[in-house]
Amino acid sequence: MSHPHPELGPPPKLPEGGLRVTPLGGLGEIGRNMTVFEYGGRLLIVDCGVLFPEEEQPGVDLILPDFTSIRDRLDDIDGIVLTHGHEDHIGGVPFLLREKPDIPLIGSKLTLALIEAKLQEHRIRPYTLEVEEGHRERIGPFECEFIAVNHSIPDALAVAIRTPAGMAVHTGDFKMDQLPLDGRLTDLPAFAKLGEEGIDLLLVDSTNAEVPGFVPPERDISGVLRQVFGNAQKRIIVASFASHVHRIQQILDAAHEYGRRVAFVGRSMVRNMGIARDLGYLRVPAGLVVDVKTLDDLPDDEVVLVCTGSQGEPMAALSRMANRDHQIRIVQGDTVILASSLIPGNENAVYRVINGLTRWGATVVHKGNAKVHVSGHASAGELLYFYNICKPKNLMPVHGEWRHLRANAELGALTGVPKNRCVIAEDGVVVDLVDGIAKIVGKVQAGYVYVDGLSVGDVTESSLKDRRILGEEGIISIFVVVDSSTGKVVGGPHIHARGSGIEDSAFTAVIPKIEDALVKSASDGVVDAHQLQQLARRAVGKWVSDSYRRRPMILPVVVEV
């Protein structure tokens, strides 16, 4: 990972009475949010999420925070506070609990229900502590107060962490929707009260810090959805995040109004909506939701499918529908609604899905052509208002790419936070709060940890580079048999190519070059198989570069007999 302070070394010992803050994810990126607080030799973790891979990370399923800096201190962890139930905040928990299953999880009812269902798949039964807004809990040396915040999932919480070193407040993800569907406002009076008490360090969601004004209310979408439902002639297929309960509620309300039945598609969607319904966060009229297997018995104009895949994920339901690789086949006249924003880096994948759906005759409604999404993150106007209420002494922007972090710090400075107290850090950069002043003191390892199938951490940047070369340039294999004593060629060379765009017959021209190189090496007394492999690789590599301007992966095999 890039680093704004390359001169930094490992952090010094934390001064007595100081509070240390170490972000292990979520700074410089959108995802894998994780922050470690340390006081008196004890640790408190806020969130532990995942990051979803981009195109240059082929074969990777998830990206985790790097636990290296805390791996030998797992017994010092007093708990993991989960601010809300989105994957970029809870998705990494199973992987941390694999290393120590009895770390307590602290969160709201819905958040804990979502993580418990996820942990059940990993055969982990966690220790949990359910909290709600207004609660105070002593977690080791940390006194935590929980504050209601509005976000794109119910039951989100901010947390105020009191220690003798001062009070740190972590907002989690939040916005200030003044007309929330569930009536649960961001508790500005509680934040104002904390501000009066004195917030020594404020860690604030930066995702929309570049966006001026205020985020529109979630309920503004309902009118557009009703219009789309009213115009739809056949089936309606809605793709959304599997945890966006408020958005799904509006889909259910529109379906009920227009006499349609709803079926959830995809394991995570079925699981999460079942949890939300059972806990009372999702209001479902009787008979509205049906099993997907019964849809064939209903007319197309009475069907709504709610599925995953709004980010173009290759294995999600919507992508498979677009590729004709799903039991539900898109037909002329279907309407598809992508009810979410585009996560940075996913644009190409999403537009590929949109094109695939359009090819089969669907009308695709998305954020680019209709107001079917509003953000769950506070914009610049809301952040300014928030800073004026909280009046923090030190500010540390979190949850965002570099441009978001810097824009957020500038907003804080506009409201009176001294610029030298606006700390812009990145993953692994250690910030100490000592005597009321927050400053950067060092860095720890905080690289990407890749999950590939059942493998965790085995995929390296080097292996990803190999995968990219294989995907972009192909592979050439060379097989040669040499005499072990003389180094002379007694079989081959045999050359085969895959994905390189070069026919096997074209390699006739390079075989004499390989033979000449091996003969020369034999006359020089070089008979080591590894050295002979390198000679063959260089000969073929130079020929391919000169002839085709390509750089495929070359795998030489020299067998001695």
Domain regions of the chain by residue span = 19-213+375-453, 220-365, 462-560
Query: Would you say the C-alpha torsion 167, 170, 176, 179 has a positive or negative sign?
Result: negative
Mean pLDDT of all residues in 94-122: 94
- The helix/strand/coil state of 174 is coil
Q: What pLDDT, on the 0 to 100 scale, is given for residue 526?
A: 65
Specify the CATH number of the domain 462-560: 3.10.20.580
Ranking 15-29, 136-150, 173-187, 459-473 by mean pLDDT, the lowest is 459-473
Q: For residue 2, what pLDDT band results from cuts at 50, 70 and 90?
A: very low
Confidence of residue 260 (pLDDT cuts 50, 70, 90): very high
Residue 376 annotated as part of some ligand binding site:
yes
Edge-to-edge strands of the sheet including 455-456?
Answer: 62-64, 449-452, 455-456
Task: Please determine, for residue 82, whether its predicted confidence score (pLDDT) is greater than 80.
Answer: yes
Report the Cα 536 to chain-centroid distance in Å.
Answer: 42
Q: For residues 108-129, give the mean pLDDT.
A: 93
Q: What's the mean per-residue pLDDT of the chain?
A: 87
H or E element that contains 236: strand 236-239
Spatial distance between the Cα atoms of 548 and 544, rounded to a whole number of angstroms: 5
Instruction: Choose the weakest-confidence range: 54-58, 318-322, 505-509.
Output: 54-58
Angle at 33 between CA 176 and CA 43, to 5 degrees: 110
Quote the CA–CA distance of 335 and 166 in Å, as a whole number.
54
Nearest Cα neighbor of 84 from 135, 43, 117, 47 is 47
Q: CB within 8 A of 320, min separation 6: which ones?
A: 309, 326
**Cβ atoms of 166 and 433 closer than 8 Å:** yes
Q: Enumerate residues 6+ apart whose C-beta is below 8 A from 70.
A: 24, 36, 43, 45, 76, 77
Nearest by Cα to 359 from 342, 336, 326 = 336
Residue 311's pLDDT is 66
Q: Does the pLDDT of residue 228 top 70, yes or no? A: yes
The topology under which CATH files domain 19-213+375-453 is Metallo-beta-lactamase; Chain A (3.60.15)
Find the mean pLDDT for residues 152-163. Answer: 96
pLDDT of residue 486: 65
Identity of the highest mean pLDDT range in 54-58, 211-215, 532-536: 211-215
Residues 6+ apart with CB under 8 A from 150: 156, 174, 175, 176, 177, 180, 184, 185, 186
Torsions phi, psi of 341, nearest 5?
-85, 175
Better-predicted residue by pLDDT, 423 or 5? 423
Residue % of the chain over a pLDDT of 70: 89
Eight-class DSSP state of 311: T
Block residue for tokens 């000169």: 546
Q: Does the N-terminal peptide bond of residue 397 adopt cis geometry, omega within 30 degrees of 0? A: no
C-beta neighbour count of 502 within 10 angstroms: 18
User: pLDDT tens digits for 370-414?
Assistant: 888 888 999 999 999 999 999 999 999 999 999 999 999 999 999
Rounded to an integer, what distance in angstroms lies between the CA atom of residue 512 and that of residue 532?
Answer: 15
pLDDT value of position 267: 84
The region of weakest confidence among 181-185, 411-415, 481-485 is 481-485
* Residue range 173-196: mean pLDDT, rounded: 95
| Section 221-237 average pLDDT | 90
Dihedral over Cα of 403, 409, 413, 415: its sign: positive
Hey, which residues does 556 pair with through a beta bridge?
A: 478
CA atoms in the 13 A half-sphere facing the CB of 205: 28
Q: How far apart are CA 297 and CA 152, in angstroms?
A: 34
Per-residue pLDDT, 202: 98
| Count of positions (residues) in the chain | 561
Nearest Cα neighbor of 238 from 217, 262, 222, 259 is 262
Where does the pLDDT of residue 99 fall: very low under 50, low under 70, confident under 90, or very high at 90 and above? very high
pLDDT in tens, 29-41: 888 999 999 999 9
Confidence (pLDDT) at 264: 92
pTM, rounded to two decimals = 0.83
351 three-class SS? helix
The predicted structure's pLDDT at residue 193: 97
List, in order, residues 6 or more apart from 526 with CB less than 8 Å away.
487, 532, 535
Residue from 49, 52, 51 nearest 81 by CA: 49
Q: Where are the alpha helices (DSSP H) in 198-236?
A: 221-231
Which of 10-14, 255-259, 261-265, 460-464 is predicted with the least confidence, judged by mean pLDDT? 460-464
Vertex 245, ends 248 and 396: CA angle to 5°? Answer: 135
Please state which of the four CATH numbers 3.40.30.10, 3.40.50.1100, 3.40.50.10710, 1.10.10.10 is assigned to the domain occupying 220-365. 3.40.50.10710
Mean pLDDT value of segment 337-344? 75
Res. 3: pLDDT tops 60: no
Does 240 belong to an annotated binding site? no
pLDDT at 70 over 90: yes
Which of 73-77, 350-354, 495-499 shows the lowest per-residue confidence on average (mean pLDDT)?
495-499
Range in 278-287, 293-302, 415-424 the model is least confident about: 293-302
pLDDT score, position 257: 93
312 pLDDT above the threshold of 70:
no
Q: What pLDDT is attached to residue 59?
A: 63
The answer on whether 373 is annotated among ligand-binding residues is yes
476 has pLDDT over 60:
yes
Average pLDDT over residues 51-65: 71
pLDDT band at 535 (very low <50, low <70, confident <90, very high): confident
pLDDT in tens, 414-469: 999 999 999 999 999 999 999 999 999 999 988 888 776 665 655 666 666 666 66
Q: How confident is the model at residue 1 (pLDDT cuts 50, 70, 90)?
A: very low
pLDDT of 109 strictly over 80 = yes
pLDDT digits (tens, 9 = 90+) for 347-369: 777 888 888 889 888 898 988 78
**Residue 456 among known ligand-binding residues:** no
